[in-house]
Amino acid sequence: MVMPVGFWKRIGLPLMLCSILVQALTFTPLGIDVYGNRGWLNLGFTTIQPAEFMKFALCVWLPTALRAAKKLYRKQGMKAYTVPLGVSAVGLLTVIGGKDLGTAMILIFIGIVAFLIAGFPGKWMGIGVLVMAAMVAVLAISSPNRMRRILATYGDCSAADAQTVCYQSMHAKYAIASGGFLGVGIGNSREKWNYLPAAHNDFIFAIIGEETGFVGCAIVL
């Protein structure tokens, strides 16, 4: 079933506002911490991550909002972008408030691409990118846990770190390395059996590398 473009234009803003509201529920007793991030809702029979809905909502709503803002820009100047910038910022802050910097960076990337394609004024585009980069850097540096994970990925790991902060990144490398050129075969991964944490989501690419090798990784990329 193909939905007409007009349908998505109509539901874009309500969809975005609903996603922000649901994300805000993570700060209520319904919210739960997962790996140090408060970005999940416990519904009793299942758990959901509202930020995933926000990614979709942002992709649906933002292009329409930017198109409308561009038409008003000649008359109103930067005031025309108040709604796209304001709603996007509120959504981003609800995610950052839950300490989920990874998802926040994805939302920032979606926003930057959308604003760039929509012809957002170059000077303000540059300022916005610098502000976002500075914010991400500050959030990363100010969190000892995030810095440990960054250094574990790009720095050297001691023998003691191999069983703690470096464990996940090291096993991801083991998985990719053991895949070789063609991989060990679909379903034949060893690392996904309780060796590599989050093998089914955050580190699924490492398992793809192990099972399908360099060829599979190249196809995915």
The reported pTM is: 0.82
Q: What is the pLDDT of residue 49?
A: 93
User: H helices within 77-188, ranges in order?
Assistant: 82-96, 101-117, 122-141, 144-154, 167-179
Query: Confidence band (pLDDT; 50, 70, 90) for 186?
Result: very high
Q: What are phi and psi of 31, to 5 degrees?
A: -75, 145
Decide if pLDDT at 161 tops 90. Answer: no
Q: What is the mean pLDDT of residues 30-44?
A: 88
Mean pLDDT over the full length of the chain: 91
Q: What is the pLDDT of residue 138?
A: 92
Select the highest-mean-pLDDT range: 47-56, 148-157, 166-175: 47-56
Query: Confidence band (pLDDT; 50, 70, 90) for 72?
Result: very high
Decide if pLDDT at 124 tops 80. Answer: yes
The 3 state secondary structure assigned to 98-118 is CCCHHHHHHHHHHHHHHHHHC
The single-letter DSSP state of residue 3 is P
Query: Confidence band (pLDDT; 50, 70, 90) for 157?
Result: confident
Q: What is the pLDDT of residue 76?
A: 93
Q: What is the pLDDT of residue 1?
A: 65
Q: What is the pLDDT of residue 212?
A: 96
Decide if pLDDT at 20 tops 90. Answer: yes
Q: What is the mean pLDDT of residues 135-145?
A: 88
SS3 120: coil
Domain locations along the chain = 5-142, 158-220
Decide if pLDDT at 182 tops 70. Answer: yes
DSSP secondary structure, 30-63, as one string: TEEEETTEEEEEE-SS-EE-HHHHHHHHHHHHHH
Q: What is the mean pLDDT of residues 81-85?
A: 96
